[in-house]
Amino acid sequence: MPSPELSSRYFFTLGVKGRGQNVLSRHIALLGGSLRKTAETHPFKVLAMVVLPEHLHCIMEFPEGDDDHALRWKSIQSLFSNALAKNEFLSRSRLHRRDRGIWQRQYKSYKIHTEVELRYGMAYIHRDPVKHGLVSHEQDWPYSTYQSLGAKPRLSAVRNKKF
């Protein structure tokens, strides 16, 4: 993987259709497998991530000259969706588009330009389960990179930063 100066970093937010599905955290192993399999064919590095019941935030770093995140997310979403049991109604148009109706059609992406923005993004990601009332402390949420990172950026100084 190239040095950070030669790579591209992005902050992403992806959601599932229909809040309250709890599909992401319920199938966390499938999501992890989808990420790993996609990274084998289209390399990227996850710098920080949190998976909540119906949305996720992620900071990815891409190799120099290859920041095609749409290709990677399409692969991740497809692998994840195809691994889930098919027990939902699919209309003709969804069948034609091969759309399981699990993911929202669009996701948010934000290019990270500086180390300060990177720290803001990481703090935001790790604070999100607390913000949503799922846990009292960042370290208590099991589906986060919080525990795997050494020095963790604190959110107290960046509460007004929006992604």
pLDDT digits (tens, 9 = 90+) for 69-121: 999 999 999 999 888 866 654 445 544 455 556 788 889 999 999 999 999 99
**In the chain, which residue ranges form alpha helices assigned H by DSSP?**
23-26, 28-41, 69-83, 92-97, 115-131
Query: What phi and psi values does residue 117 have, to the nearest 5 degrees?
Result: -65, -35
Average pLDDT over residues 7-23: 83
Query: In this structure, which amino acid lies at residue 161?
Result: K
Q: Where do the structural domains in the chain lie, given as residue ranges? A: 4-113
* Count of other CB atoms within 10 angstroms of residue 27: 18
Which residue did the predictor score with more confidence, 102 or 153? 102
Topology of 4-113 in CATH?
A: Alpha-Beta Plaits (3.30.70)
pLDDT at site 5 = 52
3-state DSSP call for residue 13?
strand
pLDDT at site 150 = 54
